[in-house]
């Protein structure tokens, strides 16, 4: 049966539920490491409910089933655990509490204390008629499930007596008819499972926790101030009212629980619960005692109660309630009713449902212990992982029920290593950041210099009298000056108005092939072309092309030789070249010609000067 469910939308994966589970029925096998419940292993103790900070763990609810029964045409009886005396301190009189339950629609309201009395009498008979066999008293359904699943060899040592809940179901059906529907209201979660084990007159149709009962009161707006007094339907219990306290069943049974002469030892709480079952399995004949065992600190602290604190206040309230009930108690009537119901069959049997997993090899356990930073001989344990020893934890990891991260020391060490690594990385990042800032400053300075150079170059380019253009490896114009645009003609000047400097224009579409291919040659061969004369549109152009960045960028200077200024300059330059060439020749024959060479030089210089004057 599904008792526990986990809502992964709420779950924060703290694994608190896994740590708290005494039988490791919850493991991190879900998608993305979310905890999941193995319902076959669950014993319904409810430990996981109280530790989940995100309220992701819930239990199976019979609320809808109960409402359906109350709305049907069937008569329904509520059998109420005597723990109500400790659970509802906010209700001043228990008779008001009874009427509030009736107002929900229950035909009959009975207290389980009478069922406790019947069960207690059976325990008196069983333990008084000792025949060498020691028992674990089976009032706690979680104990029964735990033994059946994890100590199946002890099922023969479970006392073969039904719980007070089941006995009470038999009582109300005998009193009010076998077609009666029965709802148990109490503090126990595992009772939801126990109720499904019985049929016929022992059947319990639904189980409500006290929390669920409060939900019903709120849903139907039922308050103490709105109802009158009403008492429980008979039969009324006697000392069974003390059942919520762990030793209450012994008091009701009249069984000696004293240290020297007592036949029964009472054990409560999770750790003691686990210890005694283990010890009982190993040392039954040495212990020589029967054991009254409860997973929680009695029913007053059960998982279905609203408040998990104030144990001793709850205990006091239970005792005060019992005193109040017994003040005018009709014991003769009680004895008569006990006789009437003594014929009820209160025996039960148990089923071996072995859920134990094979224990791993010792080498595997030691390997896991070492990975956790534990000594293989270490016996101490902080139990923060939810296991009683580090070895048990290592076994659970090997069986796939636990994760190493559930070990507090391992988790802290991992976090410290992570923090240390993070700190180291942060220091490296800081150093890298400072280095990057220095490089950024250098780059910023370089960019500023480049920008200044670019501005200077651009300004110089625009002020050149000759046409100038810079292109990339695809002969796309990067920048050109106004003189270049004038050389190209009116079409280029129109394009320049839209795209200043003709940036991005294809040089091949602006200049003839005999010029554009010169740029391609320079880019491909990384060789400059200086002063090449090219005919273009009745013009003689003098072209010089330079490789500015090998195979990537080239710059060209183009002069129109028919422009007067250029023509005059060119004549001077070329006459100068002739003079230079002749001077070299003159120097070679100087020795033979003597002063004639000087006369020739003067004559040529005179020609140049005369031309300069006339051109002005």
Q: For position 570, what pLDDT does the model report?
A: 54
- CA–chain centroid gap for 283, Å, is 44
Q: For position 189, what pLDDT does the model report?
A: 93
Highest mean pLDDT, choosing among 111-125, 347-361, 538-552, 594-608: 111-125
Q: For position 533, what pLDDT does the model report?
A: 85
- Reported as a pLDDT band with limits 50, 70 and 90, residue 432 is confident
- Bond prior to 235 in cis (omega within 30° of 0): yes
- Is residue 427 left, alpha or beta, with left meaning phi > 0 and alpha meaning psi from -120 to 50? alpha
Q: For position 378, what pLDDT does the model report?
A: 61
Q: For position 212, what pLDDT does the model report?
A: 95
More confident residue, 584 or 420: 420
Q: How far is 77 from 93, CA to CA, in rounded Å? A: 21
10 Å CB burial of residue 555 (0-12, 13-18, 19+) is buried
- Reported as a pLDDT band with limits 50, 70 and 90, residue 182 is very high
Q: For position 500, what pLDDT does the model report?
A: 81
Highest mean pLDDT, choosing among 318-327, 335-344, 385-394, 464-473: 335-344
- CA–chain centroid gap for 40, Å, is 26
pLDDT-above-70 percentage for the chain: 86
Q: For position 593, what pLDDT does the model report?
A: 45
* Burial letters 11-35, b for 16+ CB under 10 A, else e: bebebbbbbbbbbbbbbbeeeeebb
Q: For position 448, what pLDDT does the model report?
A: 72
DSSP letters of 304-331? TSS----HHHHHHHHHHHHHHHHTT--H
Q: Which of 336, 155, 163, 333 is nearest to 249 (CA)?
A: 163
Calculate the alpha carbon distances from 604 to 50, 93, 571, 583, 591 in Å: 116, 140, 13, 10, 20
- Reported as a pLDDT band with limits 50, 70 and 90, residue 177 is very high
10 Å CB burial of residue 592 (0-12, 13-18, 19+) is exposed
Least confident of 182-191, 370-379, 437-446: 370-379
Instruction: Please provide residue 305's backbone torsions phi and psi, each rounded to the nearest 5 degrees.
Output: -80, 160
Q: How far is 309 from 277, CA to CA, in rounded Å? A: 26
Least confident of 1-5, 68-72, 264-268: 1-5
pLDDT digits (tens, 9 = 90+) for 102-136: 999 999 999 999 999 999 999 999 999 999 999 99
Show Cβ contacts of residue 255 under 8 Å, excluding neighbours closer than 6 positions: 123, 124, 127, 263, 264
Residue 586 predicted with pLDDT over 50: no
Instruction: Please provide residue 170's backbone torsions phi and psi, each rounded to the nearest 5 degrees.
Output: -65, -40
Least confident of 293-302, 361-370, 474-483, 548-557: 361-370
Sheet strands side by side (includes 206-209):
108-111, 76-80, 181-186, 206-209
What's the mean pLDDT in 39-45?
Answer: 94
10 Å CB burial of residue 456 (0-12, 13-18, 19+) is exposed
Angle at 194 between CA 192 and CA 199, to 5 degrees: 110
Cβ(467)–Cβ(481) below 8 Å = yes
Q: For position 258, what pLDDT does the model report?
A: 86
Highest mean pLDDT, choosing among 8-12, 146-150, 453-457, 476-480: 146-150
Residue 216 predicted with pLDDT over 50: yes
Q: For position 44, what pLDDT does the model report?
A: 94
Residue 71 predicted with pLDDT over 70: yes
Q: How far is 491 from 511, CA to CA, in rounded Å? A: 12
pLDDT digits (tens, 9 = 90+) for 387-422: 777 888 888 888 878 877 777 666 666 666 667 777
Q: For position 595, what pLDDT does the model report?
A: 47
Q: Is 12 helix (H, G, I), strand (E, B) or coil?
A: coil
Instruction: State the maximum Cα–Cα separation within the chain, in Å, rounded to a whole number.
Output: 168
Q: Which of 218, 184, 192 is nearest to 59 (CA)?
A: 192
Q: Is 232 helix (H, G, I), strand (E, B) or coil?
A: coil
Residue 468 predicted with pLDDT over 50: yes
More confident residue, 175 or 490: 175
Residue 493 predicted with pLDDT over 90: no
Neighbours of 449 (CB within 10 A): 10
Q: For position 381, what pLDDT does the model report?
A: 66
Least confident of 292-306, 445-459, 470-484: 445-459
H-helix segments, 310-407 = 311-326, 331-340, 362-371, 390-398
What's the mean pLDDT in 589-612?
Answer: 50
10 Å CB burial of residue 41 (0-12, 13-18, 19+) is buried
More confident residue, 455 or 85: 85
More confident residue, 577 or 270: 270
Least confident of 31-40, 134-143, 176-185: 31-40
Please tell us whether the domain made up of 464-562 is placed in CATH 3.30.450.20. yes
- Residue linked to tokens 């509802």: 88
What 98-102 contacts at long range (C-beta under 8 Å, 24+ apart), as own/partner pairs, is 98/230, 98/231, 98/232, 99/227, 99/228, 99/229, 99/230, 100/217, 100/222, 100/223, 100/224, 100/227, 101/185, 101/213, 102/230
Neighbours of 562 (CB within 10 A): 11
Q: How far is 152 from 159, CA to CA, in rounded Å? A: 14
Cβ(150)–Cβ(263) below 8 Å = no
10 Å CB burial of residue 169 (0-12, 13-18, 19+) is buried
Q: For position 591, what pLDDT does the model report?
A: 46
pLDDT, averaged across the chain: 85
Residue 156 predicted with pLDDT over 90: yes
């Amino acid at each position: 049966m599904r008792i526990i469910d986990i809502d992964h939308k709420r779950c924060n994966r703290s694994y608190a539920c896994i740590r708290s589970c005494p039988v490791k029925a919850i493991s991190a096998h879900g998608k993305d490491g979310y905890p999941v419940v193995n319902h076959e292993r669950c014993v319904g103790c409810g430990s996981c409910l109280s530790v989940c900070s995100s309220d992701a763990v819930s239990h199976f609810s019979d609320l809808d089933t109960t409402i359906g029964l109350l709305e049907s045409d069937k008569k329904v009886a509520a059998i109420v655990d005597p723990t109500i005396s400790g659970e509802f301190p906010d209700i001043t009189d228990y008779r008001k509490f009874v009427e509030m339950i009736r107002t929900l629609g229950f035909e009959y309201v009975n207290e389980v204390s009478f069922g406790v009395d019947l069960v207690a009498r059976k325990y008196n008979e069983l333990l008084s008629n000792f025949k060498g066999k020691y028992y674990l008293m089976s009032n706690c359904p979680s104990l029964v499930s735990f033994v059946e699943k994890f100590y199946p060899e002890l099922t023969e040592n479970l006392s073969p007596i039904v719980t007070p809940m089941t006995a009470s179901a038999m009582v109300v059906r005998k009193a009010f008819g076998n077609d009666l529907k029965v709802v148990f209201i109490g503090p126990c979660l595992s009772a939801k499972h126990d109720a499904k084990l019985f049929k016929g007159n022992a059947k319990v149709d639904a189980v409500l926790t006290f929390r669920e009962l409060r939900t019903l009161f709120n849903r139907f707006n039922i308050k103490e101030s709105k109802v009158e007094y009403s008492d429980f339907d008979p039969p009324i219990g006697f000392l069974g009212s003390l059942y919520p306290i762990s030793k209450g069943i012994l008091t009701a049974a009249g069984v000696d629980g004293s240290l020297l002469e007592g036949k029964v030892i009472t054990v409560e709480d999770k750790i003691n619960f686990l210890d005694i079952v283990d010890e009982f399995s190993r040392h039954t004949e040495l212990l020589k005692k029967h054991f009254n065992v409860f997973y929680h600190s009695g029913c007053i602290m059960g998982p279905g109660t609203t408040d998990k604190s104030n144990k001793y206040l709850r205990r006091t309230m239970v005792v005060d309630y019992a005193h109040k009930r017994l003040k005018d108690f009709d014991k003769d009537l009680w004895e008569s009713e006990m006789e009437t119901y003594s014929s009820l069959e209160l025996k039960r049997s148990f089923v071996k449902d072995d859920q134990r997993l094979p224990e791993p090899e010792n080498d595997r356990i030691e390997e896991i212990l070492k990975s956790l930073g534990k000594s293989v001989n270490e016996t101490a344990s902080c139990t923060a992982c939810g296991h009683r020893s580090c070895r048990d934890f290592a076994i659970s990891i090997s069986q796939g029920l636990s994760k190493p991260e559930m070990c507090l020391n391992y988790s802290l060490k991992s976090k410290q290593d992570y923090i240390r690594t993070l700190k180291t990385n942060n220091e490296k990042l800081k150093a890298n950041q400072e280095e990057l800032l220095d490089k950024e400053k250098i780059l910023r300075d370089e960019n500023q210099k480049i920008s200044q150079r670019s501005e200077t170059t651009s300004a110089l380019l625009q002020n050149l009298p000759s046409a100038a253009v810079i292109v990339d490896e695809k002969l796309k114009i990067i920048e050109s000056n106004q003189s270049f645009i004038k050389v190209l003609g009116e079409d280029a000047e129109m394009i320049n108005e839209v795209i200043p400097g003709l940036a991005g224009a294809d040089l091949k579409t602006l200049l003839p092939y005999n010029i554009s291919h010169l740029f391609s040659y320079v880019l491909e061969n990384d060789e400059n072309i200086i002063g090449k004369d090219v005919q273009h549109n009745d013009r003689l152009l003098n072209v010089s092309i330079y490789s500015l960045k090998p195979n990537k960028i080239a710059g060209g200077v183009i002069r129109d030789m028919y422009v007067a200024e250029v023509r005059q300059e060119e004549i001077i330059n070329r006459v100068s070249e002739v003079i230079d060439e002749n001077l070299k020749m003159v120097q070679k024959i100087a020795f033979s010609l003597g002063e004639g060479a000087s006369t020739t030089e003067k004559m040529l210089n005179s020609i140049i000067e005369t031309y300069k004057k006339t051109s002005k």
